[in-house]
Structure 1
C-alpha cells in the first residue's frame, strides 16, 4: 500500500477542505462526499478515511476547541456509512471516535475554528442555538465572515489605524483583522451582557488584549446611551459593523449612532463600513432611506472577495461605505437643535 508520500495529489485539496468545513461546523452537505466514495470504492482501502480522521476528529484542535458532539456524531456516522457501503475493512479508529462522541453530553456551547491565510485559525466559543439568552450575537453570521474576507483583501485599509467594531458578537471579524491586517488598536464592542462575556473570552482565547500587539480591548457600547465624548475618546480611524441591520426596531437607533460617529470626531471623519446580509429587503431599504435622510451617503463597494472561510454564499450580501453629506448635515443641524442635543445623549 502506498504511504503518505505516494498519496494522490488531489487528496491534499480535499483533505484541506474537509478540515476547514469540519472545524467551522459547515453543513454536512457541503463536504465532497462523492470524492470520498470514489476513493473508497476504487481502492477498497481505509487509508483515505484514516487521513480524513487525522485532519478532523483526531486532530489536536478537536481536543482543545471541539465542534459540538452532535455535529461530530453526524460527521462520523456519514464516514461509517460510506465505508460500509464501499465494502472496506472496518477502521477501528473510526468506530472508537464515534463511541467517544456518543458518550459525550451535548452542551449548549461549542467551538468553531476559521483558518486564516497567514496560518493558524480563529477559534471561537459560540452557542449551538442561533438565538440564546435573547440575542443572536453568540454565533458568527455570514456578513461577519464576508467583511473579514474583504478586510483580508484590503489589509492596507486597517494597517496602523484604530478600528472600532460595532456589534462585535462572537468576535470573528475583529480577531481576523487583528491577526492579519496590523491595526494599531482594535476596540471590540457590544451591548448585551452575555455577548460581552463570551466576546472577552474569545478575544483572550485568540491571544489578544491590551498588552498584546495590536492592542485590543472589549467595551460595552449601548447604542442608545453612547455620547460624542465617548466616541472621541475611542478615536477610531475606521468603524465597522456586520449584520446589524436585521431588526427594524433598531435601525433608527443605529442610524443616529452612525451619524454621531461621522460628526463627533474632528476632521477627517472615520471611514465607516457596514456589511449586511439582505434577508428582508424592506428592512434594508428602510435603513438606506434613513441613512440618506440623516445626511449620510451610502456607497456600495462592489467586487468579489477571496473565498477564505466556508459559509453559505447564496445570501445577498452588500458592503457599503458611509460618508457624511456635509451640506445636508449642516442644514439638519441648523433646523433641528433639539435633535442634536438628543443625539449627543444617544
Structure 2
C-alpha cells in the first residue's frame, strides 16, 4: 500500500471511530469516501478495520451504544460491499413463544459471510434452508448470491409468521412456481416438521443446495436433522443429490461429536469447510464456529 493510500485509510478509520464513539448522526459518517475506497480495492480488511474501530471498540464493548444505533450503523455498513442491506424484525428475548428461532444466532452470520464469499455455491440453483429462524442467512444469500429459487422453512408458527414478514420487508414476494425465471430469486415459505416430513414432500422442492445454521443444540434435534438429511438423499435417485452445508457454533464438543457420529451411521460423508476470510458481521469473538459440507 502506498504511503498516501495508507494515510488516507488511517484517516478514514479515525473518522469512523470518532463519530461512532460520539454517537454522531449516521449521515455525518464519511460513507462516500468509504464507497470510493471499496470501489478501488474491494478491501474486506477495511471493513473489518471499521468494525474494530466502532462496534468492536473496547469502549463500545464495555459501554455499548443503543441497540438501535448499532443496528442502523451496521445496516449502512453492510450496504457498501454488497450494494444492499438486510432488514430484520427480531424478538428481544433469546427464547420467546417456546422457541429460539425468533433471533439471529452467530452461526447464521458466519454462514452468510461464507456464502457472500462463495456465491457460486448458490448461483442459479434452488436452495432449501432447514430451520430458517429470523431469515438472515437466506435473505443475505438471496440478495448477494443470485439463487434461482430459495425455500425458507421452519416448523414453529410464530417463527414462520415473523419470517414471512422479514421476507416481505426486504422486498421479496412469495411465488408458488419455483420454475419462474426472473431477475430476483423465486421465494417460498414452507412449514417443515423434521419428524413428519416425507420424501415426496422434500422431492417437490427440487433443491440443489440444502443449508442449516445453528440447529445442533440438543440430541433430539440432531437425530431429527440426520433423518431429514437421509430423506433428502433419497429425493433425487436419478440425479445428483443436493449439496448440503451445516453451520454451527461449537458450544459443547459432545454435541458436535454426536452429530458427526450419527452422520457416519447414516452413511453421510462430511468434510470441514475451510475458514473464510471475509468478516462482515459482529459476533462473539470467543465463539468457535464451523461449517460442514455433507455428501448426501
Give the TM-score taking structure 1 as reference length: 0.64
Are positions 1:231 and 2:231 aligned together? no
Deviation at 1:10, TM superposition (A): 3.8
Task: Tell me whether 1:185 sits opposite 2:149 in the alignment.
Answer: yes
Distance (Å, rounded) in 1 between the aligned partners of 2:132 and 2:285:
21
Cα distance in structure 2, aligned partners of 1:223 and 1:57: 48
Change (3 A) 1:276 1:51: same
Unaligned runs of 5+ residues in structure 1 are 1-7, 17-34, 37-47, 59-77, 83-97, 325-346
2:24 is paired with a residue whose SS is: helix
Distance in 1 of aligned mates of 2:125 and 2:10: 41
Q: Deviations over 1:286-337 (max 9, x none)?
A: 111011001111111113330111222321111111113xxxxxxxxxxxxx
Give the distance between the partners of 1:49 and 1:140, measured in 2 at CA. Answer: 24
Structure 1 residues 132 and 232: CA distance shift in structure 2, 3 A: same
Corresponding residue SS for 1:125 = coil
Q: Does 1:294 align with 2:266?
A: yes
Counterpart check, 1:263 vs 2:248: no
Alpha-carbon distance between aligned partners in 2 of 1:269 and 1:236, rounded to the nearest angstrom: 9
Instruction: Name the larger-Rg structure.
Output: 1
What's the counterpart of residue 115 of structure 1?
A: 78
Q: Residues 262-291 of structure 1, C-alpha deviation per residue, up to 9 Å, x if partnerless?
A: 222232000011011110111110111011
Distance 1:304 1:313 in 2: 15
Matched with 2:159 is: 195
Deviation at 1:123, TM superposition (A): 0.9
The residue that corresponds to 1:323 in the other structure is 295
Query: Post-superposition shift, 1:142?
Result: 0.7
CA distance in 1, matches of 2:82, 2:20: 28
1:123-163 Cα offsets, whole Å, 9 max, x none, are 10111111111111111111011111110111011000000
Query: What is the aligned partner in structure 1 of residue 38 from structure 2?
Result: none
| Cα distance between partner residues in 1 of 2:20 and 2:292 | 44
Cα distance, 1:251 vs structure 2: 1.2
Q: How far off is 1:235 after superposition?
A: 0.3
> 2:179 corresponds to which residue?
none
How many Å apart are 1:215 and its aligned residue?
A: 1.0
- Greater RCO, CA 8 A, separation 6+: 2
Match of 2:12 in 1: 12
Query: Retained in 2: the 8 A contact 1:152–1:180?
Result: yes
Q: RMSD over aligned Cα, in angstroms?
A: 3.0
Q: Deviations over 1:172-196 (max 9, x none)?
A: 1000000000000000000011100
How far apart are residue 53 of structure 1 and its match? 1.9
Counterpart check, 1:242 vs 2:213: yes
Show CA shifts across 1:34-76 (max 9, x none).
Answer: x54xxxxxxxxxxx47984221899xxxxxxxxxxxxxxxxxx
| Aligned residue in 1 for 2:281 | 309
Question: In the alignment, which residue of structure 1 is the partner of 2:32?
Answer: none
Q: 2:272, 2:292 within 8 Å by CA — same for their partners in 1? A: yes
Matches of residues 132-151 of structure 1 in structure 2 within 5 Å? 132-151=96-115
Name the residue aligned to 1:53: 24
In 1, distance between residues paired with 2:240 and 2:292?
A: 19
Deviations 1:97-139 (A, max 9, x none): x9xx9xxxx9xxx998482521231110111111111111111
Superposition map of 1:274-293 within 5 A: 274-293=246-265
> Within the alignment, does 1:130 sit opposite 2:130 as a pair?
no
